[in-house]
Amino acid sequence: MSQINNWEIMPVSAKDLTMTQAKISQNEGYIFNQHSTQEWQAHIEQGIELIKSHINHTEKPFSGVSPAELAEQFRHIDLTKPLDGTRLALEELDDLYLQHAVYFHHPKYLAHLNCPTVVPSQLAELFISAINSSVDTWDQSAGGTLIEQKVIDWTLARIGFGAQSDGIFTSGGTQSNLMAMLLARDSHCKRTRPQHSIKYQGLPPEANRWRIFSSQVSHFSIQKSAALLGLGYDAVVPVACDSAFRMDMSALKAEIDRCHAEGLIPIAVVATAGTTDFGSIDPLNDIAEICRKEKIWMHADAAYSCGLLVSPQHRQRIGGIHLADSVTVDYHKSFFQPVSCSAFLVNDHSHLEHVTHHAEYLNPLSAKLEGTPNLVNKSIQTTKRFDALKMWLTLRIMGQQALGESFDVLLARATETHQMMEQNPNIEVLHKPELSTLVFRFVPRMSMNHEQIDAINAGIRKAIFRDGSAVIAGTKVHDRQYLKFTLLNPTTTTEDVADVLSLITHYGKELTAAALSAAKNR
């Protein structure tokens, strides 16, 4: 028997009802709509003033705070108890975050592939968060869908893809590379096993023999993608590089021949157009020819080098990119956009069918037949942020010429930095820059072994980060410790770079003296 009839309905007093309505009214004030625009503006203006203060007065890219020191400041935070108003919340944010943020806009931030952002992209972020469109379907975004498609079409044209091409905005290069490997896998299966659909039936028995080729210095997301796609790390064959850290074509051919001889099945080659450490660009035309002969997928990971697509002076450095089956582009690296802002592009739109799924409540097949443009049809994401607006406003306000000129400044600065390093007796630079990264290390003028030099260079990076006057990166090459500059700020001057090199020399000599002293006392 139902228990509903046994429920006792308690009367609600007028006082309780009034208090509840007051709370609802107060809470509604936080919802952004036509009734709260003044409150919204007040919040935004307070935030803008705080940001301006930090941008205008930040003298170092980092405070030097340690993880333990900053964690101590978080111990007393109780997120179950809100603060009394926006001002107190922003003061707390200032203490916990802004004072200790790593500022990519600072000219002496030379560490990773992080760029300062252009003002039009910041304006776009305001619209993105306020309107909060989700561009996965037309009925959630309308014009946002068409803006994204227009930016995709612009990018396809810069690459040199034809009318049959298409693409989609992604959360970053890792997602784009995952999509590339997914399409390479499924397209190979469709071509060689037309009766077998991975989407419906999973991997075929021979999938454990499929192989993907990428250089020894390609991005780790290729291995991660292979693992996520059920192929495993072992499916990725590392190909040796030449002295400039570009994929060696003889080595690639030899690896493909070896796989054939062992009964393994090549399905794709990943050409890195701008490696993370060296900025090296694999021979795109040569790789395309090999892929054509082998009838396998070619993916060009241009997450870093994509700025060359609009370069007035150096576009030829990625000549042949139009021959790829797919391309990764990170606007948040070389187009000076806020994270995240990336895209995945394909030469033939039909390959995107491998990520298509029709849900009746969201993107029914009938909508496609009616011509409704639902971007979710070609994405592995469902909810999709309107990141394309950042590039749209950047192109409409700045223009592609200004973007390309800014990227060219980075390449010129890298060449100047390389020359400075070669003239420094304490610096051993490993390569000439092809883009805007330089891998190098401090070498003491007195004789020391490799382990000591490794320890000194690791110590230099830590000391500079603790100092906060600059931020640089580190990496290992042939199991030896190196330092790295990544120049992605067009406002960084040769004087800024010289200052950081002086800082490296200062700490290098200090650590060298300490190492020699410790050796004497043993």
Using CA atoms, how far apart are residues 399 and 391, in angstroms rounded to an integer? Answer: 10
Domains and CATH numbers, the chain: 133-398 (3.40.640.10), 401-520 (3.90.1150.10)
The predicted model scores a pTM of 0.93
Mean pLDDT (whole number) for 256-264: 98
Contact 212, 226 (CB under 8 A): yes
Contact 401, 310 (CB under 8 A): yes
Cis check for the bond before 176: say yes or no (omega within 30 of 0). Answer: no
Which amino acid is residue 294, in one-letter code?
E
pLDDT band at residue 516 using 50, 70 and 90 as cut-offs: confident
Contact 284, 259 (CB under 8 A): no
Residue 10 has pLDDT above 90, yes or no: no
**Res 1: pLDDT:** 42
**Nearest C-alpha neighbor of 211 from the set 296, 138, 317:** 296
**Nearest C-alpha neighbor of 410 from the set 431, 433, 393:** 433
> Which tokens belong to 49?
């003033």
Contact 253, 280 (CB under 8 A): no
Using CA atoms, how far apart are residues 436 and 297, in angstroms rounded to an integer? Answer: 28
pLDDT band at residue 136 using 50, 70 and 90 as cut-offs: very high
**Length in residues, the chain:** 522
Q: From the CB of residue 17, how many other CB atoms can be counted at a distance below 10 Å?
A: 10
> Which tokens belong to 304?
């870093």
Instruction: Give the mean pLDDT of the chain.
Output: 94
- Continuous H helices in 216-274: 221-228, 249-261
Mean pLDDT (whole number) for 14-38: 74
Residue 191 has pLDDT above 80, yes or no: yes
Beta bridge partners of 484: 439, 473
| Tens digits of residue pLDDT in 143-161 | 999 999 999 999 999 999 9
Report phi then psi at 260, rounded to 5: -60, -45
**Nearest C-alpha neighbor of 213 from the set 234, 190, 193:** 234
Q: What is the DSSP letter of 32?
A: -
CA 432 to chain centroid, in Å, comes to 24
Give the rounded percent of residues in the chain with a pLDDT score beyond 90: 91
